[in-house]
Amino acid sequence: MKMFIYTFLFFSLLATIAFTTEASVVDFCVADPSLPNGPAGFSCKNPSQVVAEDFFYSLAGKGDTSNIFRWNASFAFASTFAGVNGLGISIARSDIEVGGVIPFHSHPDASEIILVTKGTITVGFVASTFGNRVYSQTLRKGNIFVFPQGLLHFTYNIGKIPAVAFSSFSSDNPTGQITDYALFQNDLLTEIVSNGTFISPREVKRLKRLFGGTN
Amino acid sequence: MKMFIYTFLFFSLLATIAFTTEASVVDFCVADPSLPNGPAGFSCKNPSQVVAEDFFYSLAGKGDTSNIFRWNASFAFASTFAGVNGLGISIARSDIEVGGVIPFHSHPDASEIILVTKGTITVGFVASTFGNRVYSQTLRKGNIFVFPQGLLHFTYNIGKIPAVAFSSFSSDNPTGQITDYALFQNDLLTEIVSNGTFISPREVKRLKRLFGGTN
Amino acid sequence: MKMFIYTFLFFSLLATIAFTTEASVVDFCVADPSLPNGPAGFSCKNPSQVVAEDFFYSLAGKGDTSNIFRWNASFAFASTFAGVNGLGISIARSDIEVGGVIPFHSHPDASEIILVTKGTITVGFVASTFGNRVYSQTLRKGNIFVFPQGLLHFTYNIGKIPAVAFSSFSSDNPTGQITDYALFQNDLLTEIVSNGTFISPREVKRLKRLFGGTN
Amino acid sequence: MKMFIYTFLFFSLLATIAFTTEASVVDFCVADPSLPNGPAGFSCKNPSQVVAEDFFYSLAGKGDTSNIFRWNASFAFASTFAGVNGLGISIARSDIEVGGVIPFHSHPDASEIILVTKGTITVGFVASTFGNRVYSQTLRKGNIFVFPQGLLHFTYNIGKIPAVAFSSFSSDNPTGQITDYALFQNDLLTEIVSNGTFISPREVKRLKRLFGGTN
Amino acid sequence: MKMFIYTFLFFSLLATIAFTTEASVVDFCVADPSLPNGPAGFSCKNPSQVVAEDFFYSLAGKGDTSNIFRWNASFAFASTFAGVNGLGISIARSDIEVGGVIPFHSHPDASEIILVTKGTITVGFVASTFGNRVYSQTLRKGNIFVFPQGLLHFTYNIGKIPAVAFSSFSSDNPTGQITDYALFQNDLLTEIVSNGTFISPREVKRLKRLFGGTN
Amino acid sequence: MKMFIYTFLFFSLLATIAFTTEASVVDFCVADPSLPNGPAGFSCKNPSQVVAEDFFYSLAGKGDTSNIFRWNASFAFASTFAGVNGLGISIARSDIEVGGVIPFHSHPDASEIILVTKGTITVGFVASTFGNRVYSQTLRKGNIFVFPQGLLHFTYNIGKIPAVAFSSFSSDNPTGQITDYALFQNDLLTEIVSNGTFISPREVKRLKRLFGGTN
């Protein structure tokens, strides 16, 4: 048996060598934001420096909801949760106060499954076809709903207590475009926004003031 | 040499047999909308029925622009241009009258390159980051601009003549979600639209009337 | 304005027609298990038959944990949750009694993010390199951990109360291979299992009895 | 323990049910050519009908090389080797007589690794850049060479015995376009071939006679 | 309301921070050729340095057609048009003089849609199956045709005026392999070319002289 | 004609320039392990430094089988065979002595086709469904078998001579997780391994001694 162990360790040593160089490419590719990134994601951290904590993240804390939406989102994306880089999945936590809302927005590069862990919310998305049909449901604890990639969707806390929901995304580094931010939080000319949405110039100006836009 | 030709034809016959069954999967997969479709696209038309016309389409005609945007789009997508099914590319033509506009919209599943062949237009897209920064340019004949996947973008005819542009998409069957249609052309409750966008209920009702929405 | 609305409705009608045929391919592809499926997933349900409920699922109920692992998993996968078909994401709920375990297993085609909503668990995965290094952490409510695709991983309820966790997957229809089931729940010859794992024949036979295998 | 086994079998029964419907999508998707196919491949055979033989194929036999190239290829592709459907890999066997050749050809949708198991061959491919640089090597038993996707490549038996090589492809259903067949084995007008290649009309006609083309 | 704006700006600031690091990965990945590139494309330019001009390109100018084909191509690919990096789409302009030709060539990694904006051309591609069947059409202004990935295709100006066409590709950095260049513009031995194509050595030598090849 | 050659060389020079920068991205991306790598693989070697040898590798030599499995594997993966980087395919050689075995293992990110070139082996894989059904066959010279991605599989030399097999993978840098290594070659606590597999603590300790694990 000794002989076995000997030759065996020798063999497994070889095996380790054979696999080491490809490790970072194959088993996982923990993000190293200090290196260049590309269309597929961040460069990989040196695998010998990877630790268990790279695969851990906490969304235990409630975020600050003292804003106009009475909503806060905390993200566990590759940019902050290095372990998911290249794995095509990520997650976020939303806290929505009573009467709060996650405004109309879309995720240009990911589908989303929302899971309610506290409270009661109404969610929905708008299809780009069939007369822009709306698919909406009310969700309670343990219920889920899926928003197909890129489509406008919304969430309302219609309950009597603050709601908590966790959203999983089919991308390890998704983004989100909030319609109000896109139209009213930047320096787009009021005329351009109005002509491109048919919202009256006066209303556009009011919303720009509300969301911090200019022009 | 005769002998060669003989055995050769025999061989190429074998070759043809060997490749025939996989042809529809490999060389091309012309859409057959009469069969089931799936996440990857339409089922393939029997390759022996495929003709050159399946790979041809005409966008020569100007579309009807007698609508509120003074814009018309004609699509050469897999649903109408069967030859591109599964190939990950498609194209469309836009005619925009003087003063016309392609309103704010996004393509949930495709990036777009727009090419101007007539007139002068101003195009732009809004990033979902950096304070929703706007990237905009004015395009003349022969100029192109790219809209990254899923981001809101717009086009204005700022010239003195009708404009014509051709848009290529990184999907063989892209869709487009026009913000106005999504918010104001369906049966979403005015209250929901207003709470999810902060547009005043009065303005929402006006826009619903304009775009044909209800509630 | 009336004229506008008129021509507009006419136009949007055209638009609807233009987009209808591609809708099922583009916006979503709700699974219709009655049609053939392929490498990319299930065929799409006729989009005109799709309802909001297709995008809804409930994981509110606790599963039956009266088994040897004292663990139950409920799956919201494309095979049961039709709305996620083709979207590259799905979710499952695990209930783990005190002292219960999710045994060593892997997901051949998906990475997994596990989120704890109740209790305290210890999770870990084994890398295929670096001397099969183990990456392990203890998770409490609100903590998450990611298991890279295809690697063996495990979960233990080390707390004093039943634990609940939700796992998101980077596939809309993942599967899982539990090592014990693969080795001891089928008709593989004891000799083959033993020679291929170096587990003693006696132990293999004991485990086959335990897991319901034969031979 | 008996109790355990009981509840356990009950549990595993549930498990089996839970996974059955997704099996064909997840573990494998054996091709069923009698069903429609799509861009992602063939539809899946009913998994309950799948047998071990579906994953087995034999390339043991030498093919008929009595043709102008003194070469024969046998294919284990999804169209004939159902088990690889959707798995992104396939393999083929080539027999090349002394002095035989695999003529210039390309694989539009796959990269290829060629492995020599008998004889001595010279292989090479032409890059589309750097002045169409040629990368060529001589291979003996146990040597391999890779041809990047879509590039023209060739193989010569330069040895004194018949050669045997196995080619693996990064597609489960690749195709191959042999330049001679594409130019000289169909009904393309001699004028078109000549103008599009600058090969003299006389030579084109000679080659059309040789390869069985017309016009 | 003031209070709202305050907390709101504070919130949106947070939001901006939260999204900044992932921006370059998610919204777009403008090519920075000074950094390493990989299988997925070029590394991303620092997003804070990205300007609207990165998404703009001009193909307005006619290229120099004083060559043997009387054809010129201008490319808007990721290597020159940084904004499309990672987006899976690009475009090129072809100018073809009367009697000019785009010789037989293929794109190893992209399908192409060609759009005619001036003149009359005949296009076609050769399938690798069905006896190398040819699919050909004549195109006029506004007509399009699609060439499936990797297949040999050709274009002739059969009209009485110079033709202009724009080709869109399903890759942001496609390449093209011109058969004449691959066979006759490099240092491949005449014997190898002749044996691998059956073109007579004399003809090969004539074409090597014509295209600048050696040996 | 001289004039032609002149203008032609000038043109092809332009073409070369136009294509050079994108070459490394498009034609091939030979691995340069000295640069950062990412989820899509290694960075590309400067194409002007690429040589034919980068696409060549030898698996001619028999490996050292003096280990407990009497098996050796030699890998031609991107980490050692730079030419396949990004091409989605790789290959390995296995030598299995009489009575030797390739133990139960899985490839988390690749499907495998095994080809026998010498001897007689029995291979099989275990499905994760249908009661963990086993698909097994006996292979002789020239026979092949496919192991779908991520599923546990095994190989036995059941013949009277040493066996040689070549395995192709649908990844250019696959890894493999050997169940025995994952469970018994690291520092996982015996208690954890036993609780997560139901293998008796005594047996776990014996196997840890055998495979070099601790704790």
Give E199's DSSP letter. -
pLDDT in tens, C16-73: 333 333 333 468 999 999 999 999 999 999 999 999 999 999 999 999 999 999 999 9
Distance from C26 to chain F by nearest Cα, in Å?
Answer: 26
- CB E42 within 8 Å of CB A38: yes
Comparing CB atoms, the residue among B56, B130, B170 nearest residue E137 is B56
Distance CA C140, CA C163 (A): 9
Comparing CB atoms, the residue among B73, B75, B173 nearest residue C25 is B173
Least reliable range by pLDDT among A157-171, C17-31, E178-192: C17-31
pLDDT above 70: residue E167:
yes
DSSP strand E in C33-158: where? 37-38, 41-42, 56-58, 71-76, 90-96, 101-106, 112-118, 121-126, 134-139, 143-147, 153-157
pLDDT of residue E94: 98
pLDDT above 50: residue B11:
no
Comparing CB atoms, the residue among B129, B143, B169 nearest residue E23 is B129
CB contact under 8 A, F20 and D130: yes
pLDDT of residue D8: 39
Distance CA C3, CA E71 (A): 50
CB contact under 8 A, C175 and D32: no
Q: Higher-confidence residue: C79 or E3?
A: C79
A197 φ/ψ sector (left φ>0, alpha ψ -120 to 50, else beta): alpha
Give A119's DSSP letter. S
pLDDT in tens, F46-90: 999 999 999 999 999 999 999 999 999 999 999 999 999 999 999
pLDDT above 50: residue A99:
yes
Would you give the end-to-end CA distance of chain A in angstroms? Answer: 81
User: What is the percent of chain D where pLDDT is above 70?
Assistant: 87
pLDDT in tens, E73-91: 999 999 999 999 999 999 9
Half-sphere exposure (Cβ direction) of C182: Cα atoms closer than 13 Å: 29
Residues making up chain D, counted from first to last:
215
Give the residue numbers in A contacting F (CB under 8 Å), as ranges.
Answer: 1, 4-5, 7-12, 14-15, 18-19, 21-27, 29, 32, 35-44, 85-86
Instruction: Find chains touching chain D: ≥3 CB pairs under 8 Å.
Output: B, C, E, F
Q: Which residue is closest to B109 within chain A, CA to CA? A: A150
pLDDT in tens, B180-206: 999 999 999 999 999 999 999 999 999
Q: How far is CA C172 from CA A150, C89, F182, in A?
A: 17, 4, 27
Tokens of D149: 């996707």
Instruction: Find chains touching chain B: ≥3 CB pairs under 8 Å.
Output: A, C, D, E
Spacing of C-alpha E58 from chain mean position: 15
pLDDT in tens, D152-175: 999 999 999 999 999 999 999 999
pLDDT of residue B130: 65
pLDDT of residue F21: 37
Q: Higher-confidence residue: B10 or D137?
A: D137
User: Exposed, middle or buried, F60 (CB in 10 Å: 0-12/13-18/19+)?
Assistant: middle
Mutation site, F70, F105, F177, F204, interface C, largest C CB count within 10 A = F177
Distance CA F40, CA F42 (A): 7
Please calculate the CA angle B157-B159-B162 and round it to the nearest 5 degrees. 65
pLDDT of residue C131: 73
User: Exposed, middle or buried, D176 (CB in 10 Å: 0-12/13-18/19+)?
Assistant: buried
Per-chain mean pLDDT for chain B: 89
Chains D and B touch (3+ CB pairs under 8 A): yes
pLDDT of residue D174: 95
Kindly indicate the confidence band of residue F5, based on its pLDDT and cuts at 50, 70 and 90: very low
pLDDT of residue E26: 66
> Which residues lie across from E145 on neighbouring strands?
B56, E114
pLDDT above 80: residue F145:
yes
* Residue F153, H or E segment: strand F153-157
Mean pLDDT of the C72-85 span: 96
Mutation site, C14, C29, C113, C122, interface A, largest A CB count within 10 A = C113
Kindly indicate the confidence band of residue F18, based on its pLDDT and cuts at 50, 70 and 90: very low
How many other CB atoms are found less than 10 A from the CB of residue D70? 17
- Chain C positions touching B36 (Cβ under 8 A) are 32, 35-36, 43-44
pLDDT of residue E131: 72
φ and ψ at residue A169, rounded to 5 degrees: -120, 150
- Chain D positions touching E178 (Cβ under 8 A) are 128
Strands in A90-96's sheet, in edge-to-edge order, are A71-76, A90-96, A163-169, A112-118, A143-147, C56-58
pLDDT of residue A193: 97
CB contact under 8 A, E181 and D129: no
pLDDT of residue D11: 40
Domain C52-175, what fold? Answer: Jelly Rolls (2.60.120)
pLDDT in tens, F176-208: 999 999 999 999 999 999 999 999 999 999 999
Q: Which residues touch A182 (CB under 8 Å, ≥6 apart)?
A: B104, B126, B128, B132, B152
Q: How far is CA E124 from CA B78, D196, E105, E130, F45, in A?
A: 20, 11, 11, 15, 36
- Chain E positions touching D124 (Cβ under 8 A) are 188, 192
Give B52's DSSP letter. G
Distance from C96 to chain A by nearest Cα, in Å?
Answer: 16
CB contact under 8 A, A55 and C83: no
CB contact under 8 A, E86 and A39: yes
Distance CA F88, CA D171 (A): 9
pLDDT above 60: residue B16:
no
Comparing CB atoms, the residue among F5, F9, F22 nearest residue E77 is F22
Residue type, B32: D
- CB A129 within 8 Å of CB C23: yes
Q: Higher-confidence residue: B15 or D47?
A: D47
How many other CB atoms are found less than 10 A from the CB of residue D158? 16
pLDDT of residue A8: 39
> Which residues lie across from F167 on neighbouring strands?
F92, F114
pLDDT in tens, E100-118: 999 999 999 999 999 999 9
F84 φ/ψ sector (left φ>0, alpha ψ -120 to 50, else beta): alpha
Give the residue numbers in F contacting E (CB under 8 Å), as ranges.
Answer: 1, 4-5, 7-12, 14, 18-19, 21-27, 29, 32, 35-44, 85-86
Distance CA A198, CA B122 (A): 17
pLDDT in tens, B152-176: 999 999 999 999 999 999 999 999 9
Chains E and B touch (3+ CB pairs under 8 A): yes
Comparing CB atoms, the residue among B7, B18, B44 nearest residue D38 is B44
Number of H helices, E strands in chain E: 4, 13
Comparing CB atoms, the residue among B67, B108, B185 nearest residue C7 is B67
Mutation site, B65, B67, B72, interface C, largest C CB count within 10 A = B67
pLDDT in tens, B139-158: 999 999 999 999 999 999 99
pLDDT of residue B26: 65
Comparing CB atoms, the residue among F48, F111, F127 nearest residue D87 is F111
User: Exposed, middle or buried, A107 (CB in 10 Å: 0-12/13-18/19+)?
Assistant: buried
Work out how many CB contacts closer than 8 A connect B with E: 183
CB contact under 8 A, C23 and A137: no
pLDDT above 50: residue F25:
no
- Chain C positions touching D1 (Cβ under 8 A) are 210
- Chain D positions touching F49 (Cβ under 8 A) are none
pLDDT of residue A11: 40
Work out how many CB contacts closer than 8 A connect A with F: 83
pLDDT of residue A131: 72
Residue type, C3: M
CB contact under 8 A, F44 and E64: no
pLDDT in tens, C152-163: 999 999 999 999
- CB E211 within 8 Å of CB E184: yes
DSSP strand E in E26-184: where? 37-38, 41-42, 56-58, 71-76, 90-96, 101-106, 112-118, 121-126, 134-139, 143-147, 153-157, 163-169, 177-178
Q: Is C97 annotated as a binding residue?
A: no
pLDDT of residue A130: 65
pLDDT above 70: residue D94:
yes
User: What is the percent of chain E where pLDDT is above 70?
Assistant: 87
pLDDT in tens, B68-105: 999 999 999 999 999 999 999 999 999 999 999 999 99
Q: Is D153 annotated as a binding residue?
A: yes
Tokens of A90: 């990520």
Distance from F24 to chain D by nearest Cα, in Å?
Answer: 10
pLDDT of residue E171: 97
Comparing CB atoms, the residue among E1, E22, E43 nearest residue A38 is E43
Work out how many CB contacts closer than 8 A connect D with F: 182
Q: Which residue is closest to D132 within chain E, CA to CA? A: E182
Kindly indicate the confidence band of residue E24, based on its pLDDT and cuts at 50, 70 and 90: very low
How many other CB atoms are found less than 10 A from the CB of residue D134? 20
pLDDT of residue F130: 66
pLDDT in tens, B20-41: 333 334 689 999 999 999 999 9
Mean pLDDT of the A45-49 span: 93
Q: Which residues touch D182 (CB under 8 Å, ≥6 apart)?
A: E104, E126, E128, E132, E152
Least reliable range by pLDDT among C87-91, F1-5, F191-195: F1-5
